[in-house]
Amino acid sequence: MSKKERYIPNALKFAFGGSAGMLATVVVQPLDLIKNRMQLSKGGRSAFAVAGEIVAREGFMALYTGLSAGLLRQATYTTTRLGVYNYLFDSYKETHGGVAPGFGTKTLLGVAAGSVGSFIGTPAEVALIRMTSDGRLPKEQRRNYKNVADALMRIVKEEGVLKLWRGATPTVARAMVVNAAQLGTYSQAREMFQVYIADGVFLHFCASMVSGLITTIASMPVDIIKTKIQSAAKGQNQIEVVTSLIRNEGVLALWKGFLPYYARLGPHTVLTFIFLEQLNSAYLKYTE
């Protein structure tokens, strides 16, 4: 991160983070919907089979079902996590004579930023999961939310306000792992690649690809455990869910569905950081 970036106003750091995430979501929303349908469906169907079924049964635009919830999730979750991370990163440099934090500190900053952002973004996440999974249910069981605002209002009216934070604990735990890996490795990879690659979109792309891959490897076990816990029989605790999964399917089951998971997370990581870097660069260029 260059010295000039320190002077981007804190409010803009939050706004740029959310805007970057929202722009990336517009591109990868179909992948998010396909991933959610695959996680909720039985069997080992491929992403292409699931996508084909959605288009055949619901139409092409159904791939963008839940886009409003996805955008709100980025406006809340990504705005907060990237804004908090950049704020903490710059604060560290200011109190340490301009020296950037080491990898361990970057990881801790990512954990802090992810936990705060995830808690704030959980209501939009609940709406997103429900909206993207609605099409797989029989017509009489569908919620048919009109948009994210309708979803949130109906959840509060029909189930109570606390249901907006359903699954918040495992969601926050997953976000802590994702952000520790994603934000820390992106900063580290960017610094390493800068020795060989000039600052620009290609540098941001390379750093993002490394960050997305490591984030996928690190977060998949937590994501699968989170899904198993949320769908487990009443009374099962986290240890029982994990031991049962490993005993019945083996350790590698913790990374089951690696490719479809990365197909969504990888491009979103790449696009988010590229958009964020371009927004930062544009601000610095036109406010000199």
With contact defined as beta carbons under 8 Å apart, do 50 and 34 qualify? Answer: yes
Cα–Cα distance for residue pair 272/276, rounded to 1 Å: 6
Is the model's pLDDT at 67 over the cut of 90?
yes
pLDDT digits (tens, 9 = 90+) for 206-249: 888 888 888 888 888 877 776 665 544 455 566 776 787 788 77
With a cut of 90, say whether residue 157 has pLDDT above it.
yes
With a cut of 80, say whether residue 158 has pLDDT above it.
yes
CATH code, 143 = 1.50.40.10
Whole-prediction pTM: 0.74
CA–CA gap between residue 86 and residue 9 (Å, rounded): 11
- Residues 182-191 pLDDT 10s: 777 888 888 8
Q: What Rg value do the Cα atoms of the chain yield, rounded?
A: 19
pLDDT digits over 160-189, tens only? 998 888 777 878 888 888 877 777 788 888
pLDDT band at 120 (very low <50, low <70, confident <90, very high): very high
CA distance 172 to 232: 19
Q: What is the band of 148 on the pLDDT scale with cuts at 50, 70, 90?
A: very high
Give the count of domains, the chain: 1
| Percent of the residues in the chain that have a pLDDT greater than 90, as a whole number | 14
Give the tokens for residue 52: 């084909």
Instruction: For residue 14, give its domain range.
Output: 3-286
